[in-house]
Structure 1
């Protein structure tokens, strides 16, 4: 831990050494293709470390840097929650009032039961539209007006009694955006600009409508086994107040400074936002973590949040008492944000740091690429000696990445190996059957769909596929 009583040169030197270590750790993650983005670390509003890694645009070879704009996904929720709390502070919104007090068009049986407080901390019971079947294929590409989307996709029956449990819901924050519009008479984007971004001079942050040309904006990619591809298209009316913003690491530093200074909402209101629920450490737009005094010298509170949206993921972490800030923005999908953030915090607090690691799925692919199934068999033998096994999920994911890379023979090899080491897994056999079906080996496909059903008679996909193949 930094010694606050040490002389200024010593403290500065200590931070410089930590910046060198942070750079080495992030560079290791980048070398393993686990980071392609921008990182910023600060203390008391002053930058300790900032750097871009990899490319903002692979086609043109444009590098990421501290001014690169990234979509930030669910980091949007802390801004939405702040807009609501500004309205609470003005007396325009009551946290304990029902939805029906602000939205007249929302289905009344739910609108009369669910409160603003429950929308903010994900205890409303309203199912998340992103969890709906076929959301990605049938909904995510289409533009919607706010009211129309709420009525079609945020109005399902409650999953549980409001306030009785926690369930993360993008629908809840979509509805909060509509409430902001109803109360202010402004669009969500206008409220965001007027009440947060312009006052804080966050000129590189905004609501991404997908149409405006944004300078220095990163392209979103998905990582393949070798190389990258463009992320799937997403109409930006869909994430809305739950996830449609973009920003830079430097602008998010301005945001952190404003929160520390209490210039966005008052300190009592901000403390209210950091009160977690009994079921989950979640406040209003922030996840809350309490660090033990025995490990860190004194009790500390971390507020943080992640964001994931097609081709991008983001993470912001703030240590309230020590005013540390860690921001990681990534434009190649699926970076290990938690592990990287923990590594940086451990460096800052002089704790042991785990080395950068490649995602197990990609490590398995490298082994397979070098030595085929035999290499994986050897790995499995080593795992067995330790009482472990290669993860069924990682092998399954690897198989599907091979399918997406049009390497069906390799996918069949991986899925077959998965059934050998997880011989009672219905899902492993289902995946193998699918690979055979795609490879037009229909007899094999039926054989393994039937095997899957022998372990899980409720596998409707297997039943439907057997029927489909039988008439070919």
Structure 2
């Protein structure tokens, strides 16, 4: 074999190796789902053929709900949105008041309102999608994801079910020595300053339940770390866009506060922003009842996550105190000795109050959002009794009869 022939064979062999390596690298890239938008974990819309309630059923329920609405919402001049649906069918909805009182902009079905702590339900759903995608596990230590997180025993599950023992940032940063109240606090600031000041736990992790917004501020950081996206972008990719929630978003208060539904006291005096307003995960999602109905249908679908993960969401984790109240993973619950369960989450931030009531057995959702301070949103529980046998303390007249 002459020199030229040998050189040609060597070049040919090297070319094959290079092509093979390129193909292997391309295959690896194709299998790396974290870098591909089309395989990014997201919630799928509900594909079920739902059994639509009869016209008679709708008419009967609508009359009772209308009495309830007139008693609690109209009499109290609530400014907000109200919707009741069964199996995806809207039975009753009303919109009243102003998203911007100064400009007399009325609230409609397309007006996003601050969800306050109902935002936690959606943050938890994004976390569960990432768990389902294998990005981390429920019992994984948070410190293995957020490398500077100083509490070694706290897991993702403990953040979701409020058993971490973390101190509440809203109270911790009341101390002006720790934070200048003229500046907006961020999620990363919370973590960094807890490290800097060696903030202690309020109690040993997983010892008891204590509702704490810091848990969900940290979950938002986990979402950012794992996805490589800002929380607002990740929530759009995981939840809002796949479900067609066109009127839902995470607000950036510094840029968009004047563009959204405003927050009012009971006399329509606007709430002033404070240093806690920019923190997200625990709050700061804006949405509409119709968008939340799309979300509720999706997480009610048998195709949502896996049966095991869904079971983890809707079971109670805190039994150190006797009673009906408990908390799952991003959802509150009332549970009785006969195993009847009612799932819900309430919210309050400034003048915004919210209520999301989920009757899993009856496939009913009740959504109440208000942007002028009121507690009438929380009365939505009463309506559970017209759909199922829930042992709530309902007195005559509570439903507006």
Shift of 1:53: 2.4
Q: Which residue of 1 aligns with 2:80?
A: 37
After superposition, the CA RMSD in angstroms is 2.9
1:79 equivalenced with 2:122 (yes/no): yes
Report the alpha carbon displacement of residue 275 of structure 1 after superposing the two structures with TM: 1.6
Post-superposition shift, 1:336?
Answer: 3.1
Separation in 1, partners of 2:300, 2:122: 15
The aligned counterpart of 2:61 is 18
**CA gap 1:216/1:28 in 2 versus in 1, 3 angstroms:** farther
Which gives a bigger RCO, structure 1 or 2 (Cα 8 Å, sep 6+)?
2
The offset of 1:98, in angstroms, is 1.5
Counterpart for residue 189 of structure 1: 232
Matched, 1:281 2:326: yes
Work out the CA distance in 2 between the residues paired with 1:99 and 1:169.
Answer: 16
Of residues 169, 175, 191, the one that matches 1:150 is 191
Gaps of at least 5 residues in structure 1 are 1-7, 294-298, 358-472
Alignment: residue pair count: 338
TM-score, length of structure 2 as denominator length: 0.76
- CA distance in 2: counterparts of 1:135 and 1:44, whole angstroms: 48
What SS does the aligned partner of 1:93 have?
A: coil
The CA deviation at 1:302 is 1.9
Contact kept, 8 Å, 1:205 with 1:251, in 2: the verdict is: yes
Match of 2:33 in 1: none
How far apart, in 2, do the equivalents of 1:135 and 1:310 lie?
A: 20
**Residues 355 and 266 from structure 1, CA distance in 2 versus in 1: closer, same or farther, beyond 3 angstroms?**
same
Corresponding residue to 1:323 among 342, 363, 386: 363
2: distance between equivalents of 1:311 and 1:153? 29
Bigger mean CA deviation after superposition, 305-314 or 144-153: 144-153
* Distance in structure 1 (CA, Å) of the matches to 2:140 and 2:371: 39
Q: How does 1:48-197 map to 2 (within 5 A)?
A: 48-107=91-150, 110=151, 112-132=152-172, 134=174, 142-152=183-193, 156-197=199-240
SS of residue paired to 1:194: helix
**Secondary structure of the residue that 1:18 maps to in structure 2?**
helix
The normalised TM-score by structure 1 is: 0.65
For 1:342, the equivalent position in structure 2 comes to: 381
Structure (1 or 2) with the greater helix fraction: 1
CA distance change for structure 1 residues 9 and 283 in 2, over 3 Å: closer, same or farther? Answer: closer
SS at structure 1 position matched to 2:183? coil
Q: Secondary structure at the match of 1:220?
A: coil
- Secondary structure of 2:305's match? coil
Native 8 Å contact 1:75 1:243 kept in 2 = yes
- Listed one character per residue, the Cα deviations across residues 186-226 of structure 1 (whole Å, up to 9, x for unaligned) are 11112111111111111111111125559984221011xxx
Listed as ranges, the gaps of 5+ residues in structure 2 are 1-50
Cα 1:291–1:48 change in 2 (3 A) is: farther
Q: What does 1:441-460 correspond to in 2, within 5 Å?
A: none
Q: Distance in 2 between matches of 1:300 and 1:322?
A: 12
Cα 1:244/1:262, change in 2 over 3 Å = farther
Distance 1:243 1:9 in 2: 33
Q: Which residue number corresponds to residue 268 of structure 1?
A: 308
SS in 2 for 1:163: coil
Q: Which digits, 9 at most, give the CA deviation of each residue in 1:132-187, with x for residues without a partner?
A: 36379966662244322322258620111101111111111111111121122111
Residue 455 of structure 1 corresponds to: none
Contact 1:210 1:235 in 2 (8 A): no
Deviation sequence 1:256-309 (CA, Å, 0-9, x none): 11011145533321221112112461011101222565xxxxx54222101111
Matching residue of 1:242 = 282
Please give the secondary structure, in 1, of the residue aligned with 2:286: strand
Counterpart of 1:307 (choices 321, 343, 347) is 347
In 2, are the aligned partners of 1:197 and 1:206 still within 8 Å (CA)? Answer: yes
C-alpha deviation, 1:76, in angstroms: 1.4
The alignment status of 1:28 with 2:71, answered yes or no, reads yes
Mapped to 2, the partners of 1:34 and 1:82 lie a distance apart of: 33
Q: Which moved more, 1:41-50 or 1:299-308?
A: 299-308
Structure 1 residues 153 and 59 mapped into 2: Cα distance closer, same or farther (>3 Å)? farther
Distance 1:314 1:140 in 2: 26
- Distance in 2 (alpha carbons) for counterparts of 1:90 and 1:149: 28
Shift of 1:124: 0.6
CA contact (8 A) 2:153 2:205 kept: yes
